[in-house]
Amino acid sequence: MGDSVIKGRGLSPGKATAEVAVCDQLISPLGEISREGFITSGPCENTGITGKILAFKGGRGSTVGSYTFLELKSRNIAPAGLINEAAEQMVVTGAIISDIPMVDRVPLDIFSNGDRISIDGTSGELSISNVTEKKVATVYLVHDGKLLLLKRSESSTSYPGQYSGISGYIEEGETPEETARREMIEECGIYEASLKHLGREIYVRSDGILYEITPMIMETKSNEVKLNEENSNYVWVDSEKLQTYATVPKFKQTFELLIASSQ
């Protein structure tokens, strides 16, 4: 496969490699995909899907829509593969009866139109060619009910001047928790913290880099922070005030998911 491997859920077996067509909308195959292999409504109107891997939010509409893919397949103008953020059974059925590989549980914002990608509908894995994957651990550090935000240095190579948690690249042989504890010491001078919840990986795309981020909540008894050169400022905040800070992509969303999944 390509340079970066993303973990989705396999829904229809088979493998495909092709250019991706990204469509950030729900699609009703019956009525919104033409017999000529074009999307006919919404922001992706007139987008051709023949021979491409079609990445879209998910399906809607009549269960008869399954046969749209089968008809396209019989005429050799079907998509090479399907990717959904959250699959609906009608689309899954259409993929299976048409022998089109399909995966879901993949965010659309990691793709750019024209990316060449590979999918495996059995394992659920997919890859983006010529995109480098970097594995990162991010700590949402809590003290006395408040969350630590670090303001990234203006000289930072990624997201300068924005607020984030404690983050660092996972080195070979390290677990995400080991990376987190190393970074807490290096970035904040904090040596003691307990792991409260380890979350599922999330993905953030920045040009030719795909960050695979393992988020976690940790709790410390100390609010004393000794910054190194990576960050220029810090603040302990109530979580409901997160939206008032300019944070790195998906920071607030990921924290909300962590809280929900930890309960």
Residue 258, SS3? Answer: helix
Q: What's the Cα-to-Cα distance from 12 to each of 33, 60, 82, 228, rounded to whole Å? A: 20, 18, 9, 48
Residue 40, SS3? Answer: coil
Angle at 106 between CA 103 and CA 112, to 5 degrees: 105
β pairing state of 194-198 and 146-152: unpaired
Phi, psi of 260 (to 5 degrees): -65, -40
The set of residues, in sequence order, having a beta carbon less than 8 Å from that of 199 and lying 6+ positions away, is 214, 215, 216, 217, 254, 257, 258, 261
Q: Pick the catalytic residue from 62, 156, 158, 232.
A: 62
- Return d(Cα 146, Cα 218) in angstroms, integer: 12
Known catalytic residue at 62:
yes
**Is the separation of the CB atoms in 28 and 91 below 8 Å?**
no
Active-site residue list: 62
